[in-house]
Amino acid sequence: MKAPAIRRALPLALFLALAVLLGWGLQLEPDQPLPTPLLGKAAAQFELPLVDAPEQRFAPPRELRGQVWLLNVWASWCEPCRAEHPLLKELAQEAGVALIGLNYKDAQGAEWLRQHGNPYRAALLDREGRVGMDYGVYGVPETFVIDREGRVRLKHAGPLSAALLEAKILPLVRSLREE
Amino acid sequence: MLKFLKFPIALLLATACLAASAQPLAEADTARLEQRALHLAEQLRCVVCQNQTLADSHAELAQDLKRELRAQLASGASDQAVLDFMAQRYGDFVLYRPPLKSQTWGLWFGPLLLLLLGAWILRGVLRQARAGASVEDDDEKLRKVRA
């Protein structure tokens, strides 16, 4: 019998390898956002009425062609949207970015904006969530960065954070503006 | 088995009853459409509660997607077109039968590879066991010869 010591150590080694693998699995973010298949693809065309002026309609991405813009999906019933709201106001100050709101499956959006302030260049009402479907929205809030050509370049599921804005979103927006 | 048959039988009875009514064709079409919708919803993952199919899920988004799915089928879309619609928006992740492409090779062929690996290890173990056994046999014989 050759190298019996190795053979005897094998189960222990396998066990340790498995333990390390499972331990690593535990360290992973439990609910990582789903990867979106939309990256690099043309953002879906839509036309919706403004939340605060239903007689007016707006049709991105066509009407925003040549601009870098952000689509922020939000709703008055969504708690985390309150949390990211101050950041959106800050973001709206950033020159050269059009912040567009998509008021997802909501009826109280206008009231909410009056109460908390409206950071959006245009807040659009997606009453039935049909536009949200075209953007693969599966939770609120979500934020998309769309380039001058109307392609989706980033999707973030969940509330924005100051760190994320500084580290990822603003640098991306600035570089897209240069493109 | 009985449970499995219940739905088709109910459907058959329903269509049989309806055959006598004024618009039998339209009703049968609706039933067929409903069945196709259910069949598709069972192949799609709900992205909100990710361990459920669309058919099982009561999440609001799942309801919306089921409504969309039905509407598309009603307007003449093929099953594949509906699956493509979902995958284009929510990713291949929503397909319970993932498509065969380079990123999913591991998924499709990994288990087969593991099976082959297992068979190979088993062969080694059996061969060694047989070799061990024959050595014991030899020892036994040797002892008998010496005795």
Q: What is the pLDDT of residues A126-174, one digit of tens each?
A: 999 999 999 999 999 999 999 999 999 999 999 999 999 999 999 999 9
Q: Which domain holds residue B114?
A: 100-147
Contact B87 A38 (CB under 8 A): no
Residue that finishes a domain, picked among B99, B114, B129 = B99
Same domain, yes or no: B82 and B130 = no
Domain identity same for B1 and B20:
yes
Q: Which residues of chain B have a CB within 8 Å of the CB of A38? A: 89
One domain for residues B7 and B35: yes
Interface contact B48-A138, CB threshold 8 A: yes
Q: What is the pLDDT of residue B27?
A: 84
- C-alpha distance from B144 to closest chain A C-alpha (Å): 24
pTM of the model: 0.76
Q: Considering only CA atoms, which of A58, A54, A63, A48 is closest in space to residue A146?
A: A63
B118 and B85 within one domain = no
CATH number of the structural domain spanning residue B15: 1.10.8.640
- The answer on B84 and B146 residing in a single domain is no
Domain count, chain B: 2
- In this structure, are B85 and B106 located in the same domain? no
| Same structural domain, B92 and B104 | no
Backbone phi and psi for residue A152, each to the nearest 5 degrees, phi listed first: -75, 125
pLDDT digits (tens, 9 = 90+) for A36-58: 899 999 999 999 999 999 999 99
For an interface test with B, the pick among A6, A77, A137, A138 (most B C-beta atoms closer than 10 Å) comes out as A138
Q: How far apart are CA A42 and CA A49, in angstroms?
A: 22
Distances (CA, A) of A172 to A7, A104, A135, A169: 54, 25, 20, 5
| Beta-carbon separation of B48 and A38 below 8 A | no
ipTM strictly over 0.90? no
Question: Which residue from B60, B65, B91 is facing A36, i.e. has the nearest CB?
Answer: B91
Instruction: Dump pLDDT digits (tens) for A58-95.
Output: 999 999 999 999 999 999 999 999 999 999 998 888 77
Same domain for B37 and B7, yes or no, is: yes
